[in-house]
Amino acid sequence: MSNGQFDDLFWRLPLVGILRGFRADQIEPIVEACIAGGLTNLEITMNTDGAADQIRTAIEAADGRVNIGAGTVTSIDRLNDAVTAGAAYIITPAIIPDIISQCRKREIPIIPGAFSPTEVWQAWDAGATMVKLFPADQGGPSYAKSLKGPFPEIRLMATGGVSLNTIEDYLEAGVEGFGLGSPLFKKDKVDAGDWDWIAEQIRRHREIYDAFQTH
């Protein structure tokens, strides 16, 4: 996938669905539910058993309709596994200089995790595509707004504790994207095969995002 195609899909709806710890046989129907709901970005965390194979399965199921990325990339070995599997972008929980550097060299979009003003700046200055504000709920929308004051040019992806009740507040604070795990993929709903519920949750988040862009 080219960076142009990545950008087109990513910014169409900059909400990243986070899959962590699901079974291999659940990946394809999850991807189909995401497509039904309009989600264009998925992240499979590399601390999931068989993560590389799940990335391959998701890419095949998505058939170019969804960016499939890798999250919780905390080592060069994990990075290599993710890239070999075909991950379109890389997300880390913290600033890991070697991974950022390698992604820049390989021209792979990289979204490192950061929290403090110093970390947010360091991640962006190192060449981040955008910066994952994590854990976002520890500061909330008001903290994100404070960060945007000196750093209006830094694109932030709020991750951790974001919900239907707070997404609009984050958007008003200037946040550009979101990482969403359990709000979209509750384990009991996935285990029950309630794919319609997942698609509906995606639609509800998408409607808030779209409404904000047009008001």
> In 3-state terms, what secondary structure has residue 90?
strand
Nearest-angstrom CA–CA distance, 27 and 165: 27
CA angle, residues 27, 47, 40, in degrees to nearest 5: 45
Instruction: Give the DSSP letter of residue 138.
Output: G
Classify burial at 140, counting beta carbons within 10 Å of its beta carbon; exposed 0-12, middle 13-18, buried 19 or more: middle
Active site residues: 43, 132
Alpha helices, DSSP H only, in the chain? 3-12, 24-37, 51-62, 76-85, 97-106, 117-125, 140-148, 167-173, 187-191, 195-214
Which residue has tokens 């854990």?
A: 135
Contacts of 63 (CB under 8 A, 6+ apart): none
**What is each CA distance from 160 to 63, 77, 106, 182, in whole angstroms?**
28, 25, 28, 10
